[in-house]
Amino acid sequence: MEKTRWAVLGPGTISGDFVTGLRSSEFGVLHAVGSSDAGRAAAFAEQHGAAASGTYDVLTRDDVDAVYIGTVHTTHAELAIRVLEAGKAVLCEKPVTPTADETARVLAAAAESGRPFVEAFKQRFGPFADLLRTIVTEGELGEVREVVAAFGYDQHPRTGRAFDPALAGGAILDVGCYPTSLAVEVARLTGRSALPVEFSEVTAERVNGVDADTTATLTIGDLAVELRTAVIREMPGAAVIRCERGEIVLPDAWGSRIESPSSLILRSEGEERMLTAPTVQPMGAEADAVSRALAEGRAEAPEMPWADTALIAEISTRWLEKARG
């Protein structure tokens, strides 16, 4: 397979993490960097060894095959649509957009273009993600009944993007989308993702006008879901999938920016068994998923289908609306 030539839009921290992951990918290489500030793009390109840099117009270059969008949430929709209309593949940092309606517009553009479009939920990619999908679909512990998951951190000072309403700040879109993504994937794997979503309770603490610590209790069909997220409180990065005859425990459900999760625990009838998988650089793995889609002529990556992206956006949007009161 030929190397995928990547452009990165947005020379920030998360894009730096992506470039680090790209170095460990099988099929990708950094080629260009774009920014609203061409000077920042040039500095990032020099730091990371990209051959070209400039404004966001680098997305139209003939020597670019795929584009990673690592800008703030509020700019994703416009940039993703521009990239798709330019005939390039897109790996868009989560969340695709701040709202379900905007996300639907991006997915419609992806469908019209026929080019690969993948939302960058890093925990969906690699051997551990494959292991989890196998365990859920094989049903060793019986019917899946509930997903309980949390992701939170304590940011100081209470400033910056995460606390800025104008930049779609808040916990739900920043890290709450990870637990939501897990619940949505489990719903799909167990045949429930097309069923109605019903919220029964949402609690929220607001800081600087954003959702800073919030919980949601809901159902996807008959799958019970409990989610919690925060940007003002550390939370264990664990998740539990409760089944008819036991539970699947993910001690480190989200991994890190440089290493995927490595183990899960099956608990049933007083017994406990740990299963492990090789770790990978997850951002490199998601880049390779885009490369495979390009090579095989597919518009979607099986790890992150568009239906999941749409349902994550729907749940996040409704959760936000309820958290705002």
Residue 164 burial class via C-beta count within 10 angstroms: exposed 0-12, middle 13-18, buried 19 and up: middle
Give the active site residue among 88, 94, 122, 322.
94
Q: pLDDT of the chain along its 325 residues, tens only?
A: 889 999 999 999 999 999 999 999 999 999 999 999 999 999 999 999 999 999 999 999 999 999 999 999 999 999 999 999 999 999 999 999 999 999 999 999 999 999 999 999 999 999 999 999 999 999 999 999 999 999 999 999 999 999 999 999 999 999 999 999 999 999 999 999 999 999 999 999 999 999 999 999 999 999 999 999 999 999 999 999 999 999 999 999 999 989 999 999 999 988 999 999 999 999 999 999 999 999 999 999 999 999 999 999 999 999 999 999 8
Angle separating helix axes 127-138 and 177-189, nearest 10 degrees = 40
| Catalytic residue status for 322 | no
Query: How many Å apart are CA 263 and CA 94, to the nearest integer?
Result: 24
CA distance 170 to 168: 7
pLDDT of residue 257: 83
- pLDDT given for residue 1 in this prediction: 82
**What residues does CATH 3.30.360.10 cover in the chain?**
124-280+310-323
Which fold is adopted by the domain 4-122+284-299? Rossmann fold (3.40.50)
pLDDT the model gives residue 269: 86
Task: Output the DSSP codes for 209-245.
Answer: TEEEEEEEEEEETTEEEEEEEESBS-----EEEEETT
The residue behind tokens 């800073």 is 212
CATH 3.40.50.720 in the chain is located at 4-122+284-299
**Which 8-state DSSP code applies to residue 196?**
P
Cα gap 178→94, rounded to integer Å: 9
Domain 124-280+310-323 has CATH 3.30.360.10: yes
Please say whether the beta carbons of 189 and 267 come within 8 A: no
Stated pTM of the model? 0.97
